[in-house]
Structure 1
Amino acid sequence: MILMTSRSIPNQAQALHLGAAMVLLCPACSPRQPSDEVDIADAAQAARDAIGNHRDTSSSAPQAPVQSSPARPQSPAGSAVRTDPLPPPGPAGRGAALPDDEDRKSAATTLRGYFRLIGERRYKEAWDLWDRDGAASGMSREAFAQSFAKYRSFEAEIGSPGRVDAGAGQRYVTFPVTAAGTLHDGSPFTMAGPVTLHRTGPIDGATERQRSWRIHESGLRPRPARSDTADQIFVRYRCENGTEFAARFDNRTNTAVISLPSISVQLEGQPVGSGIHYAGHGYDLRGKGDRATFSRPRFAPTECRALS
């Protein structure tokens, strides 16, 4: 006979089931003796009676509450369940505020692209980079292109920008710029001044174009071209009729002194749209770049060229 108490195994139901199994199985697994034969039907009935008695006595006893873990949500087939917290969302894409350094780099890229278009004579595309759909340039697209027609070459050097000024949802940054090159008549030019760019900040309703940097204002102003003799320039000419002479151009007095083998004469500067024109005492010198036409008393006009 097998004695089982409620204290021997924590779970009484499990104990009864185990006891019944032992009653059924042990006779079969132990060495059988003729005197130890067991009626299996009687043993099974005894096990059922024991289980029934347990249910009758346990139904009236208070049951301890069973704590269960909350059910874990099932993930879709083939996917992994992420247990670590998700990172907070980053700044919104196109409307996000850029760090100051990145904002300045973006403005510098726009400004370099603007002057590159000027140097490539793509003036109408450069006009499109002005603020307020080009209106900030103060000119129409056609007039803007015409204003650059006098340049043979145009290059710009961009300095370090100041800080990005922000207020009322707007952004401004200013760059020092120096531009240099040559006119179509070969004359050099230099300009310098500040160029300010503008864009709209990350505010509702702003278009992609408004959030992009555009030319807001240009303070580029002509200044004298740098040379070893800024006030006076010396040029020697050789003409087709064999004449050679030297010319000293004085920018302070707007005069030119022509020196021939037998005479020197001072000529006065004359109004001219482009190039040079000096005249006086029957002498005349006019031209563009390294070519000029020279006239003097008793001689026919002749074409001349500056010697390098």
Structure 2
Amino acid sequence: MRSGAILLAVACLLGAPACTSSAEHEGEPTAEAERARAEGPKAVIEAYYQALSRRDYATAWQLWGKEPAADDAAFRRFVDGFKDTELAIAEVGQPGAPAPVADYVHVRVPVHIEDLRSDGTGSGYDGTYTVRRTVDDPASWHIYEGNLRR
């Protein structure tokens, strides 16, 4: 599985069509975010790291269920948090069982992340993301929280 993630990351860096941003209008959902949200929890996390690696921060932010135009200051802080990140590779595991919580369905998704910073250093992280959707909209999956550790 790791070799597949590396190949995808390399393809994104080389500008493969599947990895280019389709965000045409600020504030509108990107095609990548909409597709991943409809596909499910694993697709959301994979799309998130693909977006980060190609610096498509609008898509990455939308995968948290947020819109860049709604809170520009928070979006700018999010972007600044990745200013030194050159590449982020995610090995995404199989999602856990869906768990209903109030008006939502939550799913935990295990991950192993490797990142490369602009100074040539890198780090590895392991943990889980909780991805959720509303009970009545199966295409509304988004990241709810992340719990990663080195």
Fold equivalence (TM over 0.5): yes
Dislocated runs of 4+, deviation >4 Å: none
Partner of residue 48 from structure 2, selected from 103, 114, 128: 114
Work out the CA distance in 2 between the residues paired with 1:187 and 1:132: 30
Residue-by-residue CA offset, 1:4-27 (whole Å, 9 max, x unaligned): xxxxxxxxxxxxxxxxxxxxxxxx
- Is 1:220 the counterpart of 2:148? The answer is yes
| Residue aligning to 1:269 | none
| Residue aligning to 2:58 | 124
Work out the CA distance in 2 between the residues paired with 1:148 and 1:188: 13
- TM-aligned CA deviation for residue 132 of structure 1: 5.4
1:134-145 map, 5 Å: 140-145=74-79
| Partner AA of 1:164 in structure 2 | P
Residue-by-residue CA offset, 1:84-139 (whole Å, 9 max, x unaligned): xxxxxxxxxxxxxxxxxxxxx622112211111011111122111113557xxxx8
Computing the radius of gyration from Cα coordinates, the structure with the larger value is: 1
| Residue aligning to 1:196 | 130
Work out the CA distance in 2 between the residues paired with 1:171 and 1:133: 21
Structure-2 change in CA distance of 1:119 and 1:132 (3 Å): closer
- What RMSD over aligned residues (CA atoms) do the two structures have, in Å? 2.3
Work out the CA distance in 2 between the residues paired with 1:177 and 1:128: 19
Work out the CA distance in 2 between the residues paired with 1:180 and 1:162: 22
Residue-by-residue CA offset, 1:256-299 (whole Å, 9 max, x unaligned): xxxxxxxxxxxxxxxxxxxxxxxxxxxxxxxxxxxxxxxxxxxx
| Partner AA of 1:156 in structure 2 | A
Residue-by-residue CA offset, 1:191-213 (whole Å, 9 max, x unaligned): 111101011012xxxxx6x8510
Residue-by-residue CA offset, 1:171-190 (whole Å, 9 max, x unaligned): 00011111103111111211
| Residue aligning to 1:169 | 103
Larger proportion of helix: 2
Work out the CA distance in 1 between the residues paired with 2:107 and 2:67: 19
Work out the CA distance in 1 between the residues paired with 2:43 and 2:116: 25
Work out the CA distance in 1 between the residues paired with 2:121 and 2:58: 25
TM-score, normalised relative to structure 2: 0.64
| Residue aligning to 2:86 | 152
Structure-2 change in CA distance of 1:153 and 1:167 (3 Å): closer
| Partner AA of 2:49 in structure 1 | F
Contact 1:199 1:212 in 2 (8 A): yes
- RCO higher in 1 or 2 (8 Å CA, sep ≥ 6)? 2
| Partner AA of 1:219 in structure 2 | N
| Partner AA of 2:115 in structure 1 | G
Work out the CA distance in 2 between the residues paired with 1:132 and 1:166: 22
Residue-by-residue CA offset, 1:229-268 (whole Å, 9 max, x unaligned): xxxxxxxxxxxxxxxxxxxxxxxxxxxxxxxxxxxxxxxx
Work out the CA distance in 2 between the residues paired with 1:213 and 1:147: 23
- TM-aligned CA deviation for residue 167 of structure 1: 3.6
Work out the CA distance in 1 between the residues paired with 2:98 and 2:79: 30
Structure 2: gaps spanning 5 or more residues: 1-38
Structure 1: gaps spanning 5 or more residues: 1-104, 203-207, 224-308
Name the SS of the counterpart of 1:142 in structure 2: helix
